[in-house]
A and B are shown apart, each in its own frame.
Chain A
Amino acid sequence: MTQTTGGTGPLPRGKHGLPREEVIRSQRERLLTAAAKVCAERGFDATTVASILAEAGVGRESFYELFEDRRACVLEAHRVLLDDLIERVRVAYTGSGEWVERCRATIAALLDWFAADPLAGRFLLVELPAVGPEFHERFEEGFDRFVAVIDSGLDPDLPEPEPLPATSLAVAAAISRVYGEVAAGRTEELPTLVPALTYEVLVPFLGEDAARAAAFVEVPQAG
């Protein structure tokens, strides 16, 4: 769970001279990281306040100063992780280069994000539905945010595949493919899917031949 926090451990006990705001920020990050980790590992049912506290090394009183209940904490952890993922995707997509190149880079960034932190992916995609009906609006909102990012950077010269909402199809392809791999626990191999997923994403925009040419090119490895 490095992505929520950058890996902060508990603060030293006793007099550490840190400002109170700093302490609260650290506790909040540890609680969110713990909630995501416990939920990913044991499911939402088992994600009690006690289990979050034990994982985070934070006291009960501090928890209730920050969150109303376990559900609020889990939902906030979800929001933070999703924001992080969307930001990563946005940065990759708004880079320089041709649109198809940016698509490829975006898909690579997405797959790397899930490969880097299997528990975060599991929490985001597989365990969240168990929180209850709140999941429905979270799903819709998250989906729409990805579509908005992709729409905002479309190449104006792309052919219009009317009546298809090709952007929604692209987002659905990415979520569906990543979900399948994450649910099956195959996150390590995710980065190898860049060409295949790029192809699937590009077909509704460009057709098979152009999509194949763009997706299965040899890309020189950086570094």
Chain B
Amino acid sequence: MEKHSGSGITALRPSSSFVGLRPPSQRRRILDAMIDCCAEKTYPGTTIAELVRRGSVSRTTFYKLFTDKRDCFDAAVTLCIDRLGEALATGASGCDSPAEATRRGIAAGLGLLAAEPRLALLLAGDVLGVDPTQVDRYGQMLGPTLARMWAEAGEPTRRHSSPGLAFGRAQLLVFHEVAAGRAERLPALAPNIVYLAIVPFAGHDEALRQARLAKDDPPVEVPA
């Protein structure tokens, strides 16, 4: 969004129309409007009139794509989950061990959320108010992936702490920072999140060791 160097009338136009990128689809514009609007006003303060205005689409287009505000919100949640999942996967790719993949993936995920706190506000804040069962959707996406990674690496399954609770804790720590308007500090949460992601599968000692390594890992730069 920092691309407008144009002056006069061009500065007023949406960036996508002149930076030479393919303009986002109508659907994507509405979803981005939903994510922005929720970040500013939360879900209850978001109206379809505003989504339509911010997304520069007609009301008819909105109702062609979504049945109602809630349907649009659910699609926005999916978009946020996909974007976060993509960041985690990209960060973790090419790593040799589950511990390293976890550290790199988390650094990339926190980098994304620091650059776009609106994603974290929606996933960790609005979702709780709109429909708590939605939280399970991405909790259940991450937990089994991590479990499989450790199983494939030959880590025997032991009775450690609960992966579901670790996920809830991580979510609260992230929300605590973004709710306070301190998203830029999210990368500093990496040791805590790494600990939480590892402790259910490899235990406290290994999780603490990895948390210390994460403290010294370089932060991940996220392209704007």
On A, residues with C-beta under 8 Å from B are 44-45, 126-133, 135-137, 139-140, 143, 161-165, 168-169, 172-173, 175-177, 179-180, 183-184, 196, 199-200, 203-204, 207-208
Contact = CB atoms under 8 A, between A and B. Distances in A.
B149 to A, nearest CB: 20
Contacts, number: 107
Contacts of A161: 208
A129 B165 contact: no
Contacts of B195: 164, 169, 204
A204 B161 CA distance: 10
B44 interface: yes
A139 B168 contact: no
Interface residues of B, number: 39
A126 B171 contact: no
A123 B125 CA distance: 15
Contact of B172 (A131, A143, A203, A207): A143
Chain B contact surface mostly: helix
Interface string B75-87: 0000000000000
Interface in B158-215: 160-162, 164-165, 168-173, 175-176, 179-180, 191-192, 195-196, 199, 203-205, 208, 211-212, 215
Interface stretch (B15-23, B97-105, B126-134, B140-148): B126-134
B161 A164 contact: no
B169 A207 contact: no
26 contacts: A44-B44, A128-B129, A129-B128, A130-B42, A130-B44, A131-B44, A133-B42, A133-B45, A135-B125, A136-B179, A137-B179, A139-B175, A140-B180, A163-B191, A164-B195, A168-B176, A172-B168, A172-B169, A172-B172, A173-B168, A175-B172, A176-B165, A176-B172, A184-B132, A199-B161, A207-B205
Given A176-B165, A203-B199, 9 more contacts: A132-B41, A136-B121, A136-B180, A143-B172, A161-B208, A163-B211, A164-B211, A176-B172, A203-B204
A137 B180 CA distance: 6
Interface of B: 40-45, 121, 125-126, 128-129, 132, 160-162, 164-165, 168-173, 175-176, 179-180, 191-192, 195-196, 199, 203-205, 208, 211-212, 215
- The 9 closest A-B CB pairs, nearest first, are A176-B168, A129-B129, A136-B179, A183-B132, A172-B169, A172-B172, A207-B204, A140-B180, A163-B191
Nearest to B132: A183
